[in-house]
């Protein structure tokens, strides 16, 4: 069974930094592209960043480009998102999602970790 | 940046067909997928590559892509289908995933 477990969320002041992790199990993590998707309270889904299986291809939403960094450690079956210069608009539930075998669709999602940016 | 648009809400009577649209420029040139999200839960993939169903998704869910509008159809809608539905386009020319704003499906 595929499991994605996010961690690292919390309360941070505007301008601060935070690092999120996603522990993957139940599938060959090193074979799949992975993504971060966020959802602000009461709002819709927003794709944040994605990384290919070998970390060669990386992409970011315009809203986080230059502030967020996605990375992965295939040896540890882990996905990361490092967030700098956080803004109140970054407050959201952050989901880790697995790409469905090159289809550009996300077939497995974690439960999310909540990031709150507030003074 | 690329954008896709969905109606905020759709209502349907039980047993009828529900149609949710997603519009954007040249959508027929992009692969579209659809997600269902119920309150307090993570999204679930219900359609990928325009019209394919992942295993475990009921046959009443179907998708189509023509021109600038993509459609998710739920045939014989059941009360358990009440949820928010999001379309997602993949813009390989720029960067990756773009979600629509979501459509709240009400079954009444």
A&B contacts, CB < 8 Å? 70
Average pLDDT (B47-72) is 92
Residues of A in contact with B90 (CB under 8 A): 104
Query: Which pLDDT does position B68 carry in this prediction?
Result: 78
Query: Which pLDDT does position A15 carry in this prediction?
Result: 98
pLDDT digit string (tens) for B62-100? 999 887 789 999 999 999 999 999 999 887 666 578 899
Please indicate whether residue B94 or residue B3 has the higher confidence score (pLDDT): B3
**Is residue B28 pLDDT above 80, yes or no?**
no
Burial A15-48 (b: 16+ CB within 10 A, else e): eeebebbbbbeebebeebbbbbbbbeeeeebbbb
3-state secondary structure of B80: helix
To which H or E segment does residue A108 belong?
A: strand A106-109
Residues of B in contact with A103 (CB under 8 A): 31, 33, 48-49, 52
pLDDT digit string (tens) for A105-117? 999 999 999 999 9
Distance CA B31, CA B51 (A): 9
Per-residue pLDDT of chain A (119 residues; tens, 9 = 90+): 999 999 999 999 999 999 999 999 999 999 999 999 999 999 999 999 999 999 999 999 999 999 999 999 999 999 999 999 999 999 999 999 999 987 889 999 999 999 999 99
Distance CA B42, CA B38 (A): 8
Query: Which pLDDT does position B93 carry in this prediction?
Result: 66
Contact A104 B102 (CB under 8 A): no
Residues of A in contact with B97 (CB under 8 A): 35, 37, 47, 50, 104
């Amino acid at each position: 069974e595929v499991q994605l477990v996010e961690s690292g969320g919390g309360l941070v002041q505007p301008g601060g930094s935070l690092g999120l992790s996603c522990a993957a199990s139940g599938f060959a993590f090193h074979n799949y592209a992975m993504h971060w998707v966020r959802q602000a309270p009461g709002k819709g889904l927003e794709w944040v960043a994605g990384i290919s299986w070998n970390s060669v291809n990386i992409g970011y939403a315009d809203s986080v480009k230059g502030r967020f960094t996605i990375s992965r450690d295939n040896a540890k079956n882990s996905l990361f998102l490092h967030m700098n210069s956080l803004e109140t608009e970054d407050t959201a539930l952050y989901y880790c999602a697995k790409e469905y075998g090159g289809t550009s669709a996300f077939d497995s999602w974690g439960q999310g970790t909540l990031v709150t940016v507030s003074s | 940046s690329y954008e896709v648009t969905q109606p905020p809400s759709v209502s349907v009577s039980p047993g009828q067909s529900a149609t949710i649209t997603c519009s954007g420029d040249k959508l027929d040139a992009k692969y579209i997928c659809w997600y269902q999200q119920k309150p307090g839960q993570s999204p679930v993939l219900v359609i990928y590559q325009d019209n394919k169903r992942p295993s475990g998704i009921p046959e009443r869910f179907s998708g189509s892509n023509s021109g600038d509008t993509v459609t998710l159809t739920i045939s014989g809608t059941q009360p358990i289908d009440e949820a928010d539905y999001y379309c997602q386009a993949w813009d390989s020319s720029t960067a990756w995933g773009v979600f629509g704003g979501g459509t709240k499906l009400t079954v009444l």
